[in-house]
Structure 1
């Protein structure tokens, strides 16, 4: 996670008068991520050093021998070498590209393909969308920005130190709840509504972490084609580290 985010949470805890052990227990729940977002979504201070690290939409570039059903559109291709190093706590390739092809509406079907540097590819176009369907013709560059995530439904009852402290009275419970609210405000960034590598899943219900899975990538439909669904790509840490991408699961929340 970014040092700025964790220190800001600590500062908020001190300002509220929350004991340091309680604040530190909450900080330990934070996990780093990398957001992929359009250049114009970033504030001016981040635009200066932001360079393309991925592209969304348009045709996929895949080896000739890789077969993907024609109806599955290209969602995003990540330039692995352009992702900030020493940020993610999952094992993401350091070179080559990672291509994601998936339905991001109501189908739990998708493909994650790692293309080592130097791989020969050809353009692969998905079947033309029917009227009113997804438009995958346009391609947009995305920039990579380090970020920090927190559990989406965090409550003081989830943290033993917070429970113990809150047993001292209603005012203590209010202070812990206020700190959790502050954490959400500190970590909320407008580009956080884009594609997310790693971190805690932004699931609206049934977080995949509760089932022992780890987020590889989350893809809001709004970040690609426009819409309200979100696709979560996940697996175990071992599957991700060993690049057993064919074993990763795709879930669509709507």
Structure 2
């Protein structure tokens, strides 16, 4: 409530009409901030050993984070996440980055895989610098809220809110939120930050449609509409003179059915 009050106060200070401010605030979604330290409960870890079922393929990217679904408090996001088991997020935060998600059910037999994928050997200078910037250690949870970082939100409003096409102050209100947000290495749920100046969820839907038409997407029905998609997670990696944000987006129906092989990954490289 303190965060939302601060946003309201700043928006009103900018002379944005109160009715328009409240219309925007209807878009608030719960969001989990995941950091290397803090007072919040431990819900997983950054990095660590790669533990996968024997029939799972070797990952193409390094393991960035493992989340213990059973450790997440109820309502910390509005995502239909599994109630137990672990979500493993893989990714490579670079110009030609990529990523993946693997869900390991509770009680599943697992085996340890090599920590460094063959495509990204840690002894090569161009990759060693990236590995040095990846977070390591316990993953602490902070319960937070999320608002859009971009002014166009017609296609990604939460189910309980009406879309706001043509909102007269959307760009300014998005700026208010961006200025207030403190950042985090990883987010679970919410809207996510912007992808190359746009909405990462809407962009993921468009990319997935193109991938399906080209035959590069796992079998299933792919919706072009961002309202059918959610942001599963985002990881932000800062590097000297550059940085990258990895977005894992998924259709809500695929998330409910635990079809994590249909996650669409975007990497926003900021040199």
TM beyond 0.5: yes
Name the larger-Rg structure: 1
Query: Relative to structure 1, is the Cα distance of residues 140 and 244 closer, same or farther in structure 2, using a 3 angstrom cutoff?
Result: same
Matched, 1:130 2:123: yes
Q: Any idea what the Cα deviations from partners look like across 1:148-177, whole Å, max 9, x if unmatched?
A: 222212389x956853xxxxxxxxx7xx98
Query: Relative to structure 1, is the Cα distance of residues 19 and 253 closer, same or farther in structure 2, using a 3 angstrom cutoff?
Result: closer
Query: Relative to structure 1, is the Cα distance of residues 160 and 119 closer, same or farther in structure 2, using a 3 angstrom cutoff?
Result: closer
Matches within 5 A, 1:37-56: 37-39=35-37, 42=38, 47=39, 50-56=40-46
SS of residue in 2 equivalent to 1:229: strand
How far apart in 2 are the matches of 1:15 and 1:139? 40
What is the RMSD of the two structures over their aligned residues, measured on CA atoms?
3.3
How far apart in 1 are the matches of 2:34 and 2:11? 30
Matched length: 228
How far apart in 2 are the matches of 1:54 and 1:227? 27
SS of residue in 2 equivalent to 1:193: coil
- Structure 2 equivalent of residue 141 of structure 1: 138
Query: Relative to structure 1, is the Cα distance of residues 210 and 101 closer, same or farther in structure 2, using a 3 angstrom cutoff?
Result: closer
- Structure 2 equivalent of residue 231 of structure 1: 246
Check the 8 A contact 1:36/1:54 in 2, yes or no.
no
Query: Relative to structure 1, is the Cα distance of residues 220 and 161 closer, same or farther in structure 2, using a 3 angstrom cutoff?
Result: closer
How far apart in 2 are the matches of 1:237 and 1:182? 28
Query: Relative to structure 1, is the Cα distance of residues 108 and 10 closer, same or farther in structure 2, using a 3 angstrom cutoff?
Result: same
How far apart in 2 are the matches of 1:184 and 1:60? 34
Query: Relative to structure 1, is the Cα distance of residues 96 and 227 closer, same or farther in structure 2, using a 3 angstrom cutoff?
Result: farther
Which consecutive residues of structure 1, in runs of 5 or more, have no partner in the other structure? 164-172
Query: Relative to structure 1, is the Cα distance of residues 77 and 178 closer, same or farther in structure 2, using a 3 angstrom cutoff?
Result: closer
- Structure 1 equivalent of residue 89 of structure 2: 100
- 1:135 Cα deviation after fit: 2.9
Which structure carries more helix by proportion? 1
Task: Give TM-score scaled by structure 1 length.
Answer: 0.75
Query: Relative to structure 1, is the Cα distance of residues 182 and 110 closer, same or farther in structure 2, using a 3 angstrom cutoff?
Result: closer
Query: Relative to structure 1, is the Cα distance of residues 20 and 91 closer, same or farther in structure 2, using a 3 angstrom cutoff?
Result: same
Task: Give TM-score scaled by structure 2 length.
Answer: 0.71
How far apart in 1 are the matches of 2:57 and 2:176? 47
Query: Relative to structure 1, is the Cα distance of residues 79 and 135 closer, same or farther in structure 2, using a 3 angstrom cutoff?
Result: same
Matches within 5 A, 1:78-89: 78-89=67-78
- 1:34 Cα deviation after fit: 0.6
SS of residue in 2 equivalent to 1:26: helix
User: Which residue of 147, 150, 162 maps to 2:147?
Assistant: 150
Check the 8 A contact 1:84/1:144 in 2, yes or no.
no
How far apart in 2 are the matches of 1:197 and 1:222? 18
Query: Relative to structure 1, is the Cα distance of residues 238 and 17 closer, same or farther in structure 2, using a 3 angstrom cutoff?
Result: same
